[in-house]
A and B are shown apart, each in its own frame.
Chain A
Amino acid sequence: MARISAAVNVLLLLGLGYVWARNYFQFRSKHTLGLFVFSLLLLAENACALYYYLLDPTLSAWFAAEVPGIAWRAMMLLHVLETVALAFLAWVTWD
């Protein structure tokens, strides 16, 4: 579930980043630049999380086998909250 949320976050951030990047290159405003940079950094955060969970040779094995359920649930909550926040932002940005 934490992995799914992180993946959804990556997709939402790609969509938001696309809109903001396109508008930034058209308008060159610092407001849009701010939104774009924000989406890039949050994208990096979620991409790193996915990499650690699924691909990194040491960490992915550790996450798969040694992390207790309670810790997974705590991390899942963080990712899911972020997904809800991003879904809301996508909803207001997409119109």
Chain B
Amino acid sequence: MEAVLWYVLTGTRGGPNRVRLLQAIDERPRNANKLAEELDVDYTTVRHHLDVLLENGIVEKSGDEYGAIYLPTDQVQHHWKVVETIMERVE
């Protein structure tokens, strides 16, 4: 999991944006629409990043397709120290 976090969040082009998403989701689980609004990022971009985070087991969603709420997985909570280390470098 740690290697996945490092790679997905710092090894790819969209990494920095995904860190911001994860940060927002950690503060308060939200749906894609809200996230796009609050981070001022295009909705389809947000969906793309959320799909990557989903695929890698970093976030999970609850609820149906529209308005599904995204939240960090237990696995990520477990490795939150790594996420914090990465987050310190954003902004």
Contact = CB atoms under 8 A, between A and B. Distances in A.
Interface of A: 19-20, 23, 26-29, 31-32, 35, 92-95
Given A29-B6, A95-B48, A95-B52, A19 B13 contact: yes
B90 A19 contact: no
Chain B interface extent, by class: 10 to 19
Determine chain A's interface SS by DSSP, over half rule: helix
Contacts of B6: 29, 31-32
Determine chain B's interface SS by DSSP, over half rule: helix
Contact of A26 (B7, B13, B48, B90): B90
Given A28-B89, A29-B86, A23 B48 contact: no
B57 interface: no
A92 B89 contact: no
B90 A35 contact: no
A94 B10 contact: no
B11 A35 contact: yes
Contacts of A92: 12
B14 A23 contact: no
A23 B11 contact: yes
Given A26-B90, A29-B6, A31-B6, A94 B13 contact: yes
Nearest to A31: B6
